[in-house]
Amino acid sequence: MSKVIKVERLKDIFKDQIRIMIGGFLDCGTAETILDYLNTLDLKNLTVIVNDAGYNYKSKGKFLAQADIDKIITSHIGTNPDVGNKMTSNQIDIELIPQGTLAEQIRSKGAGLGGVLTPTGIGTRAAEGKKIIEVEGEKYILATPIGADIAVIKAWRSDQSGNLIYRYAAKNFNPIMAMAADTVIAEVEEVLDNGKIDNNNIMTSNIFVDYIVKSK
């Protein structure tokens, strides 16, 4: 069965008040076709988990700057002044998490773990309100799992059933986000027939992918 859908179908999948994960590192490995379409929907009260806030004039960054978002969980917003202005004016809640810790919290959700222990942030504001666990005399922050209702990821190739291959540095947050959300929508550049991808090359199995959108 083919999981390929037209991007317009997404209006029936995305709802208000949901948690959305967006893969990519700045513009590398970001689902621009999907995000451009989401910019046309009037979604409200969203929570977004994303590595960075992108650039305010295109795709991911434009979505984060203009959509009705209550909270962004991220590691960096410095490239998007619009999101920064919303944070300083208290229009949006920004939770900043060190990049490696954020990645491991997402990975923990997909792996069914209770979290990870990290020394990063001990003695700083990053530790405020967090559970501190001591192991062999060293203190660690318990970083709990982070998941989402929907993950929007980007891959290079897929087959009709949703087996994915990423290309170059686009294999960043996308594979771990594919395992940490209830519904996964993958934007891909090329869709092959089933059986045309060598099983040894599959990076995300089709069991994690619900829908495929072809990049424009």
pLDDT digits (tens, 9 = 90+) for 138-187: 999 999 999 999 999 999 999 999 999 999 999 999 999 999 999 999 99
| Residue 135 counted as domain residue | no
| Residue 122 counted as domain residue | no
| Residue 140 counted as domain residue | no
Q: Report the interhelical angle of 59-66 vs 81-88 (nearest 10°).
A: 20
| Residue 39 counted as domain residue | yes
Give the per-residue pLDDT at 73.
98
**Which candidate, 14, 9, 78, places its Cα nearest to that of 46?**
14
The domain that holds 93 is classified in CATH as 3.40.1080.10
User: How many domains in the chain?
Assistant: 1
Residue 51 domain boundaries: 7-112+146-214
**Band of residue 92 on the pLDDT scale cut at 50, 70, 90:** very high
Q: Collapsing DSSP states into helix, strand and coil, what is residue 59?
A: helix
Could you tell me the pTM of the whole model? 0.94
Number of Cβ within a 10 Å radius of residue 87:
17
| Residue 131 counted as domain residue | no
Number of Cβ within a 10 Å radius of residue 204:
24
| Residue 171 counted as domain residue | yes
Give the per-residue pLDDT at 126.
83
CA distance 139 to 147: 25
| Residue 210 counted as domain residue | yes
| Residue 81 counted as domain residue | yes
Each residue's pLDDT tens digit, 24-38: 999 899 999 999 999
